[in-house]
Structure 1
């Protein structure tokens, strides 16, 4: 727990080198990442046209990637990693630089995402942006009749026992903004202590720390949870399909913003299938396939325009990159190990 970031990265890299020896079979693509990025609605088409079979393992937090890869990196070929964690995998040597000549849609992706420091290092590209969005709050409109507009709603005594919070260190970012701190990725020890105290004070009000989209959907559908943060689009759409009245909102303190990126695991024997999947999912068929399933915005606006209706294109802010600037886009914290330890201390507190 007290190990510095450098030690964590060296340990992860060493474990990957020692343990990453059993690789997926040829013509198979083992995917580690977020729900919705390997859905049958478009994966079956990809498999039929390429001969590459996709096997998916899902994560519930960006903190899952490094330890899973370190414990058996050879079990995976491709990962979908958010921008606050890509640099960790690059520094640990767990992913490999990409060949730009093999990226068919690279130049069509939003420039701001392509130039992100988390996927660029030493003049090399390590990630391909896939989707983006916000981390809004969500609530049941049949249970909460007022219109909340702040993160403070997650500390409201009126909702005691009906609040859920994502089990992820990003809770530190939005709690810091609630406390009036703008430097959410470079918080001082004193500021982190204040954030920790605020989050611990919330614990008696919580029903659950949720970890997967499916878990949160079930908590809302059963009536166990009325308000929470959410991944944006995906969970609200699934609940509305079930007739559960929910609504999202961006808090007045500003919402987190994120970009998920494809990265190829170092020494993957199935890099050919990985490049094919990257190209498929950044094409019009893949971008709209994923966007339809998840509700997320597409990283390739050129492809999105080919397959979205004008209304959907506008609703998902594909024509308004300034929307990104209204969000606090995720970055790797300056002291990642300290942030991780702070979040673990919150969860472990009585």
Structure 2
């Protein structure tokens, strides 16, 4: 009789951990590798007594597909660059947030809190994303071959470095670079400007050693071929990689400015717990968490100025371009050595 009376209590005790876990809050993250490392996730879970589910993505296309499914209801918080944030706002997949509810935004450098001046993250006066990490695409140069740091993007075209320049194999970025070098909008190339920009990229193809795809490939080529100048699509990650390998290199932001991607935290339209999503953003902006991102991934954080640049310069956050398909088609012709028509059909 005593045992029968105790049985419900015993069963409840055995089931308590499972019941607690089932009833606890869960934060669902959709992020890039390195943005939610296991030890940091564990720290957040312990502090807030919640569960965190992390889904990793490796491309913007995958991120779009996952967030679009079920109208964003599968995730609470995402990390995406400003161009993608702008797209998601247009698709009504995000909800506006209130930076004043996220105390650690006051730790950030002012340029990352001046939301209205960051293209793509605001709409109708509302803020939809909080900057987290970024990488500028500067110029890495061999100090032995440059007496002073390169001052301009046009250094990539300088004939004295012919065969000693590395550029990145990307259609959109290269058209943006060429347009920026001409003093024009890098993301909105006018139809009648395409012939001149295309000719400029043909000239770049003739000046470079090659176009690389991966940072490791660029590092090997840099060392093996005594490269003088490298367009760093992966930014300071590549600088760190070369320095760690013993290369005597410097890093410069050209006077025209540097293309740069800025990844932000944004709350999904279908978020189950907005307050918990805000708590994660706040956690990510603690000094030790942001510094871990820099130390482990080589990415810049939004709390402190990055080391290694010879002089400060303007960062030009990526925006959607006028015609991705057109840029890609023209780039393939340029890369193959085929001269595109002087006036490509829009």
Q: TM-score, normalised by structure 2?
A: 0.68
Q: CA RMSD in A?
A: 3.8
Matched, 1:292 2:295: yes
Retained in 1: the 8 A contact 2:260–2:318? no
Q: Does the aligned pair in 2 maintain the 1:132–1:296 contact within 8 Å?
A: yes
3-state SS of the aligned residue for 1:332? coil
Corresponding residue for residue 45 of structure 1 = 43
Q: 1:206 to 1:266 in 2, by over 3 A?
A: farther
Residues 1:56 and 2:56 are matched in the alignment: yes
Residue 80 of structure 1: CA displacement?
A: 2.6
Q: Which residue in 1 is equivalent to 2:114?
A: 113
| 106-115 or 340-349: bigger deviation | 106-115
* Distance in 2 (alpha carbons) for counterparts of 1:67 and 1:155: 38
Q: Which residue of 2 aligns with 1:237?
A: 240
Q: What's 1:15 paired with?
A: none
Is residue 344 of structure 1 aligned with residue 328 of structure 2?
Answer: yes
Provide Cα deviations, 1:132-185, integer angstroms capped at 9, x if missing partner.
Answer: 45320124557x566644333434565538623153623333211222x24334
Q: 2:319 aligns with which of 324, 332, 336?
A: 332
In 2 relative to 1, CA 26–201 (structure 1 residues): closer, same or farther, beyond 3 Å?
farther
- Displacement of 1:281 in angstroms is 0.9
Spell out, residue by residue over 1:277-316, the C-alpha distance to the aligned partner (whole angstroms, 9 max, x if none): 211111222222223334544434xxx5xxxxxxxx5848
Instruction: Provide structure 2 residue ranges, at least 5 long, that are not aligned to the other structure.
Output: 1-23, 337-346
Check whether the contact 1:79–1:265 (CA below 8 A) recurs between aligned residues: yes
Whether contact under 8 Å (1:132, 1:257) holds in the other structure is yes
Partner residue in 2 for 1:103: 102
Q: Which of 153, 156, 175 is 1:154 aligned to?
A: 156
Instruction: Give 2:6's aligned residue.
Output: none
In structure 1, C-alpha distance between the alignment counterparts of 2:217 and 2:74, rounded to whole Å: 30
Aligned to 2:77: 78
Asked if 1 retains the 8 angstrom alpha-carbon contact of 2:166 and 2:231, the reply is yes
What is the rounded CA distance, in whole Å, between the counterparts of 2:94 and 2:171 in structure 1? 22
Distance in 1, matches of 2:98 and 2:36, equals 23
Q: How far has the Cα of 1:77 moved from its partner?
A: 4.4
Matches within 5 A, 1:198-347: 198-203=200-205, 205=208, 207-210=210-213, 215-221=214-220, 223=223, 226=227, 227-269=230-272, 274-300=277-303, 304=304, 315=307, 323=312, 326-330=313-317, 332=319, 336-338=321-323, 340-347=324-331
CA contact under 8 A between 1:138 and 1:247: conserved in structure 2? yes
In the alignment of these two chains, the number of paired residues is: 297
| 8 Å CA contact 2:134, 2:260 repeated in 1 | yes
Indicate the residue corresponding to 1:196 in structure 2. Answer: 198
Could you tell me how far apart the structure 1 residues matched to 2:196 and 2:180 are?
Answer: 12
- Quote how far apart the aligned CAs of 1:126 are: 0.7
2: CA distance between counterparts of 1:238 and 1:332? Answer: 27
Structure index of larger Rg = 2
**CA distance, structure 2, for counterparts of residue 285 and residue 182 of structure 1:** 40
CA distance in 1, matches of 2:69, 2:195: 32
Q: For residues 159 and 230 of structure 1, what CA distance do their matches in structure 2 show?
A: 20
Check whether the contact 1:255–1:327 (CA below 8 A) recurs between aligned residues: yes
Contact 2:178 2:197 in 1 (8 A): yes
CA distance in 2, matches of 1:242, 1:47: 37
SS of alignment partner, residue 194 of structure 1: helix
Cross-structure match for 2:339: none
